[in-house]
Amino acid sequence: MFNRKNRLLILLAGAGLGTLAGLGVILLLAVIDDRLHSPQELREALVRRGILLLGQLPLVRNLEGEEIDPILADANANYLPYYERLRSTLRLVGGSEKVKVVVVTSITGGEGKTATAYNLAIAAALAGRRTLLVEGDLRSPSKSEEIGVTPDPNSFREPLLYYGAKSKSIRLAPNIENLSILPSPGPQKQAAAIIESSELQLILKDSSGRFDLVIVDTPSLSSCNDALLLEELADGIILVTRPPITRSSLLSEATDQLTEAEVKILGAVINYVDITPTLNTAEPGLPPLIVPPTRGQTETEEVKVEV
């Protein structure tokens, strides 16, 4: 028969084991879920890996509260200053070596690399630089119609012929001066082979001499090696990250992979950041963000920045 002292010891031991079990579960969850949940966590992770932070870009929601990837449509878009700041920072990063061809990629899907590439290209064009945006993600549909550029309907079936006719494949953006687009032919089964083809390689080499800046949007690093194949013709690569999508383990793997391949990492951007305090204090004159109308819309949508 247990006395009172024994019962107390059992209760204390049980409480201790319960606490240890709880801590074990917390540690296990921390190991399993290694997402970087805040911009601060991402900044610290980038610093630990020696990656320069090029800038932070705003999270935008529509009136329904849904997160969206807005693509700039005109010079009056009031979130343009954030991409203009990224453009000017990128120009300074090159130093004496002029950065002309830039690959934009992400660690994994959903981090907003395509919208970042588009908006950076538009910001550069609006700043007076002859800019070419190359849709180098041959595993996804083209986004070029969002700025009024219709892809060649035959390019999906004959991508090599499409890239071989550079005078026809590169299109001028109708409403954005200085901007040209090389639309993707759409999802391709042999995407890597097309990227390595002489047709696409030649058009990229030629474009670096014709344009002030060439921005190449590519698939994420965790999905395929297309970004590495295209980076061989570039001056460096920009990594797009996003809390809480970016994972610490994948970020480490990606940076190790890039380092081993001797890829020049120009820096990283943190996407979908709540920059409301910046709007209210440092830049009090900025109005609410406005999403440009897409096809089928008759009015612009007012959106708020949330981080």
pLDDT digits (tens, 9 = 90+) for 254-283: 999 898 989 999 999 999 998 753 333 334
Alpha helix ranges (H) inside the chain:
4-32, 39-48, 80-93, 113-126, 159-164, 166-169, 191-195, 198-210, 226-231, 248-260, 276-280
| Fold classified for 39-305 | Rossmann fold (3.40.50)
Q: What pLDDT band is residue 17 in, cutting at 50, 70 and 90? A: low
Beta 67-68 vs 213-217: how paired, if at all? unpaired
pLDDT at 286: 40
pLDDT digits (tens, 9 = 90+) for 181-207: 999 999 999 999 999 999 999 999 999
Give me the residue spans of the domains in the chain.
1-33, 39-305
Residue 57: the pLDDT is: 93
Whether the pLDDT of residue 150 is over 80: the answer is: yes
pLDDT tens by residue, 97-147: 788 999 999 999 999 999 999 999 999 999 999 999 999 999 999 999 999
182, two tokens: 């090389």
- Contact (Cβ atoms closer than 8 angstroms) between residue 73 and residue 175: yes
Ranking 58-62, 165-169, 240-244, 273-277 by mean pLDDT, the lowest is 273-277
Q: Which of 207, 205, 184, 216 is nearest to 104 (CA)?
A: 216
